[in-house]
Amino acid sequence: MPSDHALSRLSMSMPAGMLRTLGKLNVPIYRLTRGRLMGTVGKAPVLLLTSTGRRSGQPRTAPVLFLADGERVIVIGSNAGNAKAPAWSHNLKANPDAEVQIRGERRPVRARVAEGDERAQLWRKMNEQYAGFDAYDERTSRDIAVFVLERR
């Protein structure tokens, strides 16, 4: 299995459109297999995040690396260090009510952006699980949002 650094280099070398296409392929396979296939990237687990499109008002689902932190779920809007944040990040900021699917379990959540010391601590925990986030941060000049998803 490739290392986290190799995986992050691979994802950084992909155009944003290719990342979106892979994400769209991931969603039905994850749902069909309840996350047994396409449920991890390296050692990091993947969830399906369904947010409401800020422009369309329609549900949008994306596979996202996550960290289970007690009852909370942590996700990072890195978009592999691309110049633009992922659409789901903008969607959560516009409407924080969303749904996550972890393996076969779906649950409603409310998102908030972590700030200050909490953000730094969660960033470190996420990076311990998947070492690509620091590389993504170095690649972009934008502030990458760290989201805390709490059960509604």
pLDDT on residue 13: 52
Domains of the chain in sequence order: 4-151 (2.30.110.10)
pLDDT on residue 24: 76
pLDDT on residue 42: 84
Question: Rounded CA gap, 100 and 63, in Å?
Answer: 10
Q: For residue 113, which amino acid is it?
A: V
pTM, rounded to two decimals: 0.85
pLDDT on residue 25: 85
Tens-of-pLDDT digits for all 152 residues of the chain? 554 444 444 454 555 566 666 767 889 999 999 999 989 988 899 999 999 999 999 999 999 999 999 999 999 999 988 899 999 999 999 999 999 999 999 999 999 999 999 999 999 999 999 988 999 999 999 999 999 999 99
